[in-house]
Amino acid sequence: MFNRVYSQLKLLFTEFRDDQRGVTAIEYVLILSVVAIMIISIFVTDTELQSSLINLFKRLTDTIDSV
């Protein structure tokens, strides 16, 4: 009985380990996560960049409102 359960679990684990479906998508998600964390950390720590972006969007809003 124990050998049968062990064999089934071992087969299931081997199939799971060898299954390559979705690996590329997971790699892209990991890369995107790292890039997002870097961008967020830059925006949080760089106040000059924040103020430049705020001014840029204010100018864009004013330009759109004036049209």
* Residue 46 pLDDT: 83
Q: Would you list the domain boundaries of the chain?
A: 21-67
Cα 24 to Cα 13, 16, 27, 37, 41, distances in angstroms = 20, 16, 5, 20, 26
pLDDT single digits (tens) 12-67: 888 888 887 877 888 999 999 999 999 888 888 888 888 998 999 999 999 999 98
* Residue 58 pLDDT: 96
* Residue 56 pLDDT: 95
pTM: 0.50
% of the chain at pLDDT higher than 90: 36
- Asked if 42 contacts 49 with a C-beta cutoff of 8 angstroms, the reply is yes
